[in-house]
Structure 1
Amino acid sequence: MKISVLGNGRWGSFLAWYSSKIGHEVLIWGRGNSRNFHDLIKTRKNQYLTLQPEIKFTTSLNEAISHSDIVIISINSQYLRSLLKKVSKTNFYDKIFTLNMKGLEIDTGKRLTQIAKEELGVNLKVAAWVGPGHVQDFINGVPNCMVVSSDSPAITDFVISAFSSKLIRFYSNPDLIGTEIGAALKNVFGIAAGMLDGLNLTSLKGPLIARGPFEASRLIKYLGGNELSAYGLAHLGDYEATIFSKHSHNRTFGESFVTNKQFDYLAEGLSTLQSLNNMYIPEIELPIIESLNDIIIHKVDPLNTLNDLFMRPLKNEFY
């Protein structure tokens, strides 16, 4: 099968490596003015992995789309709409797209598959592929489980069949809203975990793990999804990779933020938090999100705010 990967960062380069490893013909697309992409072409490696010699590269979006049976997109979520406007000028109509990224559009609060269908048409064959796992573990043969969701069971099954291996076991979830919202919020709660680490409140990660999915389930249900998806692979299943791991950009960003250290990598939870800040959601209680919003956007004291979060008035755990 022919696979094109749009994006060549940490995750995009892994997806190209993985697709080639399981037998697909792979082409990676990157911007012509990207220094990182040209370095990848020259050396065939980055700080995480070395790409197989059979993987090819292109700066032509037309070539990348026409080459593919499946188009994998793995870029900063805030650049998705602008990229898809360019894809709309190619012959994309019979292709299947998988969005291997997590987040919400800052200005609109829209999910990534919503953006894809707005730009490429409501009949677009598109799936969200998310869940736990770090590049550093996968390339060393450490397996994990991930989840695929779409509006079409046939598309979900096709993607799972194309990419299943002993390294990644896939599950399907028909709740596309829950999968995308859960995956996006997981990164937000990862920032909170990093803040707890930086403030020497690591023991509070237990309550964060317990209460985070409750909060995610409320938002998923409010937006029309299945609240149980908060307890699946896209959200709770991905907590270990985000809340505890040294590899997590979101956790590291949160720790760096409260310790006043510079952090130069992408933390998708930050843009998701900004998106949630722009959404008007008065009907549901989102205390963790509101606390992070106060700390990051309104610059209130993180130690007092997080202490107040976990010292709120007493209530029943489940009701």
Structure 2
Amino acid sequence: MSERIQSVAVYGAGSWGTALALQLARNGLDVLLWDINATHVENLNRQRENAHYLPGIPFPDKLHCSDDLPTVAAFADYHLVVVPSHVFREMLRKLSPLLNADAAVLWATKGLELETGKLLHQVLEEELPQCRAYGVVSGPTFAAEVARGLPTAMTVAANQPMLAQAVAAAFSAANYRAYISNDVLGVELGGAVKNVLAIAAGISDGLGFGANARVAIVTRGLAEIMRLGAKLGAQPETLMGLAGVGDLVLTCTDNQSRNRRLGLALGQGKSRDAAIAEIGQAVEGAKSALSIGKLAERAGVEMPICQQVYRILYEHLPPKQAVNELLSRDLKAEF
């Protein structure tokens, strides 16, 4: 691995994958953006923008697109996976015969594996055993703001310090600051659990419960993340930083968040499926509500807010009843 990254292959041309590809290409890296949808790729190359997800933001000359996976995998030694969590393992399986031991694999996917509740680095270790260098890119970032070049900060966590430094340097610019971490697990947890809590915050606001209720959800939700992180070995500083509380506050309080918008719709009486269809993109928190429950059960950690979100989404629990059950829990010390 070279100390300075020259080229990157990015997998997944949704809003987030495209925004990260834009940032890297603007910084002078050669970027090849892959997507499974050949028609989508054809439109990207012809229009020189992602008109579907990020209209009006032109592609730099350094950014090109392809649906030919072997070509994209051979393009660079650095690979950034930005596909939804429920197809993360499938994506790695496709990449496995195409990558050698020198490849560095990163992901900006937020969530856990749906069926098993496994963290994504565990999935990577199973599917890409030849991969010695890996990491995760996360933090309080909305794709549209990154794509527009607005000021942004994020965290790069990797299992090798040189990889984290190289990736942080590749993203960093006058508008973009990347911080370095070795806590892959902590960054993954923050990015996964906050999506479920954002649904909870949206539900509360959709019910008209106001700012007091919203900040209670954010604060007690952070306590749930911290409990799970402590049990699994995450560094507490990570969960109190950009990838933890930073991402949590962003996602719970701004309507650019698909997860928050799903919660708003649920609180206003819409069904899960109707709300997701209206949003028109993947809503990671809806999947993560399933997998986080499995992870928390294995770890023996109580996560009542996340549990109530799961029940609303999958057991048809009325949102008002879920809130009443949370408020009627036995009194106890905050810490």
Query: TM (normalized to structure 2)?
Result: 0.89
Asked if residue 95 in structure 1 is aligned to residue 108 in structure 2, the reply is no
Q: Which amino acid letter does the alignment assign opposite residue 192 of structure 1?
A: A
Identical positions, percent? 30
- Between the aligned partners of 2:104 and 2:204, the Cα distance in structure 1 is 40
1:248 is matched with 257
Asked if residue 297 in structure 1 is aligned to residue 314 in structure 2, the reply is yes
Q: Which of 281, 284, 289 is the matching residue for 1:273?
A: 289
SS in 1 for 2:243: coil
Deviation at 1:267, TM superposition (A): 0.8
- Between the aligned partners of 1:311 and 1:250, the Cα distance in structure 2 is 26
2:187 is matched with 179
Deviation string for 1:139-187 (max 9, x for gaps)? Answer: 3332121011122222212211222112221112222211111110011
1:35 is matched with 39
1:140 is matched with 148
Asked if residue 215 in structure 1 is aligned to residue 243 in structure 2, the reply is no
SS in 1 for 2:150: coil
Aligned residues: 317
Distance 1:170 1:310, change over 3 A: farther
Deviation at 1:294, TM superposition (A): 1.8
SS in 2 for 1:263: helix
Q: Which amino acid letter does the alignment assign opposite residue 196 of structure 2?
A: V
Q: Which amino acid letter does the alignment assign opposite residue 291 of structure 2?
A: S
Q: Which amino acid letter does the alignment assign opposite residue 140 of structure 2?
A: P
- Between the aligned partners of 1:262 and 1:170, the Cα distance in structure 2 is 34
Q: Which amino acid letter does the alignment assign opposite residue 8 of structure 1?
A: A
Q: Pick which of 225-234 and 63-72 moved more.
A: 225-234
1:263 is matched with 276
Q: Which amino acid letter does the alignment assign opposite residue 98 of structure 1?
A: L
1:189 is matched with 197
Q: Which amino acid letter does the alignment assign opposite residue 226 of structure 1?
A: Q
Deviation string for 1:183-232 (max 9, x for gaps)? Answer: 10011111111111111113211111211111101111222222343212
Asked if residue 12 in structure 1 is aligned to residue 23 in structure 2, the reply is no
SS in 2 for 1:171: strand
- Between the aligned partners of 2:154 and 2:18, the Cα distance in structure 1 is 18
Distance 1:62 1:140, change over 3 A: closer
Deviation at 1:302, TM superposition (A): 0.8
1:313 is matched with 330
- Between the aligned partners of 1:130 and 1:282, the Cα distance in structure 2 is 23
State whether residues 193 and 202 of structure 1, in contact with CA within 8 Å, keep that contact through their aligned partners in structure 2.
no
State whether residues 217 and 228 of structure 1, in contact with CA within 8 Å, keep that contact through their aligned partners in structure 2.
no
Q: Which amino acid letter does the alignment assign opposite residue 310 of structure 1?
A: L
- Between the aligned partners of 2:275 and 2:110, the Cα distance in structure 1 is 23
Distance 1:75 1:123, change over 3 A: closer
- Between the aligned partners of 2:89 and 2:317, the Cα distance in structure 1 is 32
SS in 1 for 2:23: helix
Q: Which amino acid letter does the alignment assign opposite residue 284 of structure 2?
A: E
- Between the aligned partners of 1:92 and 1:8, the Cα distance in structure 2 is 24
- Between the aligned partners of 1:226 and 1:122, the Cα distance in structure 2 is 27
1:113 is matched with 121
SS in 2 for 1:56: strand
Structure 1 gaps of 5+ residues are none
- Between the aligned partners of 2:114 and 2:294, the Cα distance in structure 1 is 7
- Between the aligned partners of 1:100 and 1:18, the Cα distance in structure 2 is 13
Q: Pick which of 116-125 and 186-195 moved more.
A: 116-125
SS in 2 for 1:187: helix
1:160 is matched with 168
1:288 is matched with 305
1:205 is matched with 214
Deviation at 1:282, TM superposition (A): 6.9
Deviation at 1:72, TM superposition (A): 1.1
State whether residues 19 and 144 of structure 2, in contact with CA within 8 Å, keep that contact through their aligned partners in structure 1.
no
Deviation at 1:308, TM superposition (A): 2.7
Query: TM (normalized to structure 1)?
Result: 0.93
- Between the aligned partners of 1:228 and 1:312, the Cα distance in structure 2 is 29
- Between the aligned partners of 1:28 and 1:303, the Cα distance in structure 2 is 43
1:68 is matched with 76
Deviation string for 1:83-105 (max 9, x for gaps)? Answer: 11111111432121110110000
Structure 2 gaps of 5+ residues are 1-5
Distance 1:6 1:286, change over 3 A: same
Deviation at 1:311, TM superposition (A): 4.2
SS in 2 for 1:67: coil
